Amino acid sequence: MSQKFDVVVIGAGPGGYVAAIKAAQLGLKTACIEKYQDKDGKLALGGTCLNVGCIPSKALLDSSWKYHEAEEGFKVHGIEVKGLAMDVPAMIARKAGIVKNLTGGIAALFKANGVTQLEGHGKLLANKQVEVTGIDGTVQVVEAAHVIIASGSKPIDIPPAPVDQDVIVDSTGALEFQSVPKKLGVIGAGVIGLELGSVWARLGAEVTVIEAQDKFLPTADEQIAKEALKTLTKQGLNIRLGARVTGSEVKKKQVTVNFTDATGEQKLTFDKLIVAVGRRPVTQDLLAADSGVNLDERGFIFVDDNCATSVPGVYAIGDVVRGPMLAHKASEEGVMVAERIAGHKVQMNYDLIPGVIYTHPEIAWVGKNEQQLKAEGVEINVGTFPFAASGRAMAANDTGGLVKVIADAKTDRVLGVHVIGPSAAELVQQGAIAMEFGSSAEDLGLMVFSHPTLSEALHEAALAVNGHAIHIANRKKR
């Protein structure tokens, strides 16, 4: 006789495990299915984010930045470092330890909240039944009143550069280098490519980023993207825009990459090549033909604004559905769906999902950018404040970048906050909170910000929207 649950979640990534915990907290009998195993062959919860994505990449970014600071940034503070060396295997081992602690923490949270953990591959059948195929091949079918699909995504492969996880790697392989490559190529100048390229550039690699698009960071505000390109180039990333890869050849532990750009056919040879051209939803063997759940034209599961599929009682969240592939977006969708299953009519504000690139300086934004608003014909006022004028940034010797606040010219309501600079992710979140409550630029300007803090840059940018900044000269309004 099959087990019966109120909620069955397929996938234990940042969307799935959060949905499962929330559903259990709301009194629903919940099971969560996961098949991912670590190097030791043990079940590892947390999905891409915790195992081979957000968390391990940030661990390497922090380690590599500390090395870079010791090498380049300590002198100005009067600190002299002699005999500096980087133990790459130790850095990788530290990263692995962090991942292990966090994935183990999810298992503990499942136990504490009464979530039943099912190990294996989940497949949705008809009538909200879910087939679970264990690692040993055994099959069981569980029944659910509600199903939440949170199967996530995986890196996109491109025929001109087939991944072998040795010389040509994807984002997962790039987290496991045991030494610093002398010459590193990165295909894709998106979030993943820039972050991973930054890690190894700080440690001494000669990094070339090959990007097919002509514009750098096209989804970011143009002013912020321009500043980012200038800064990252100065840091040593050779970013080649409008360059389309046409082929590659691995020979003697090196890879030669062929690509075309505005000047014609080009060829570069690297010790390692990272393919970071995006991710695609994981739907292989996920849906039985009679499950009733439909995919859209791009291969994502079709859902409405509340993540409901075409089958009543079946939902899908995270990277497997429309919208940005972000862990925090997946988590909040998981909470929303669990709440709605429990009868609470909550909704999620998709207009205020922050985006962050954890380079240094960080790049972050929330809301709409200047080019979007102008294209929509919205009259706006813009205020900016450079970290070069921030006392706290000066004290930290971290003065690159700026804060930009965009407000409606008629209502003064804040429509977007964009930051490149120290703690950009934290500052943008302050802007997101303000925007969630409909704050005006004047509201932000009237708030008391502690001194000295980096947050004062947001305060001054908000004041600058209406020409009231204190610590920079205000631009005259036309």
Contacts of 267 (CB under 8 A, 6+ apart): 256, 257, 258, 259
Does the structure show a pLDDT above 90 at 184? yes
Domain for residue 364, yes or no?
A: yes
Q: Is 325 annotated as a binding residue?
A: yes
Q: How confident is the model at residue 475 (pLDDT cuts 50, 70, 90)?
A: confident
Report the CATH number that the domain containing residue 124 is assigned in CATH.
Answer: 3.50.50.60
Q: Are 307 and 390 in the same domain? A: no
Report the pLDDT value the prediction gives residue 477, as an integer from 0 to 100: 60
Q: Is 278 annotated as a binding residue?
A: yes
Does the structure show a pLDDT above 70 at 170? yes
Q: Are 271 and 305 in the same domain? A: no
Q: Are 50 and 127 in the same domain? A: yes
Domain boundary among 226, 261, 277: 277
Does the structure show a pLDDT above 60 at 210? yes
Domain boundary among 277, 310, 327: 277
Region of residue 377 (phi > 0: left; psi between -120 and 50: alpha; otherwise: beta): left
Q: Is 55 annotated as a binding residue?
A: no
On average, the pLDDT of the chain sits at 97
Q: Are 343 and 295 in the same domain? A: yes
What is the total count of domains within the chain? 3
Does the structure show a pLDDT above 90 at 393? yes
Report the pLDDT value the prediction gives residue 2, as an integer from 0 to 100: 81
Rounded Cα distance between 418 and 403, Å, is 6
Domain for residue 476, yes or no?
A: no
Q: Is 189 annotated as a binding residue?
A: yes
Q: Is 328 annotated as a binding residue?
A: yes
Does the structure show a pLDDT above 60 at 432? yes
Domain for residue 161, yes or no?
A: no
Does the structure show a pLDDT above 60 at 271? yes
Q: Is 271 annotated as a binding residue?
A: no
Domain for residue 330, yes or no?
A: yes
Kindly report, residue by residue over 319-333, the tens digit of the pLDDT.
999 999 999 999 999
Report the pLDDT value the prediction gives residue 1, as an integer from 0 to 100: 64
Report the CATH number that the domain containing residue 406 is assigned in CATH.
Answer: 3.30.390.30
Q: Is 21 annotated as a binding residue?
A: no
Domain for residue 475, yes or no?
A: no
Does the structure show a pLDDT above 60 at 478? no
**Would you call 112 exposed, middle or buried from its count of C-beta atoms within 10 A (0-12, 13-18, 19+)?**
exposed
Does the structure show a pLDDT above 60 at 294? yes
Q: Is 377 annotated as a binding residue?
A: no
Domain for residue 394, yes or no?
A: yes
Establish whether 451 is a catalytic residue.
Answer: yes
Rounded Cα distance between 184 and 197, Å, is 8
Q: Are 172 and 48 in the same domain? A: no
Q: Are 335 and 376 in the same domain? A: no
Does the structure show a pLDDT above 90 at 227? yes
Domain for residue 470, yes or no?
A: no
Q: Are 284 and 255 in the same domain? A: no
Give DSSP secondary structure letters for 23-85. Answer: HHHTT--EEEEE--B-TTS-B--SHHHHHHSHHHHHHHHHHHHHHHIIIIISGGGT----S--
Q: Are 151 and 63 in the same domain? A: yes
Q: Are 294 and 373 in the same domain? A: no
Domain for residue 63, yes or no?
A: yes
Determine which one of 451, 459, 468, 471 is catalytic.
Answer: 451
Q: Are 341 and 448 in the same domain? A: no
Q: Is 193 annotated as a binding residue?
A: yes
- Cβ atoms 205, 179 nearer than 8 A: no
Strands 116-119 and 30-34, bridge-based pairing: parallel
What pTM did the predictor assign?
A: 0.96
Q: Residue 312: in which H helix or E strand, if any?
A: none
- Cβ atoms 293, 310 nearer than 8 A: yes
Helices 424-436, 456-465: crossing angle, 10 deg rounding:
50
Containing domain of residue 266, as a range?
A: 168-277
Domain boundary among 247, 277, 307: 277
Q: Which residue in the block uniquely carries the two structure tokens 């559905």? A: 321
Q: Are 184 and 232 in the same domain? A: yes
Q: Is 457 annotated as a binding residue?
A: no
Mean pLDDT, residues 434-461 = 98
Report the pLDDT value the prediction gives residue 448, as an integer from 0 to 100: 98
More confident residue, 43 or 475: 43
Q: Is 327 annotated as a binding residue?
A: yes
Report the pLDDT value the prediction gives residue 277, as an integer from 0 to 100: 98
Residue 142, number of CB atoms within 10 A of its CB: 20
Residue-wise over 385-408: b if at least 16 C-beta within 10 A, else e? Answer: bbbebbebbeebebbbbbbbbbbb
Kindly report, residue by residue over 112-164, the tens digit of the pLDDT.
999 999 999 999 999 999 999 999 999 999 999 999 999 999 999 999 999 99
Kindly report, residue by residue over 90-118, the tens digit of the pLDDT.
999 999 999 999 999 999 999 999 999 99
Mean pLDDT, residues 325-352 = 97
Mean pLDDT, residues 446-469 = 98
Q: Are 150 and 11 in the same domain? A: yes
Question: 3-class SS at 182?
Answer: coil
The DSSP letter of residue 468 is -
Q: Is 191 annotated as a binding residue?
A: yes
Question: 3-class SS at 425?
Answer: helix
Report the pLDDT value the prediction gives residue 261, as an integer from 0 to 100: 97
Report the pLDDT value the prediction gives residue 87, as an integer from 0 to 100: 98
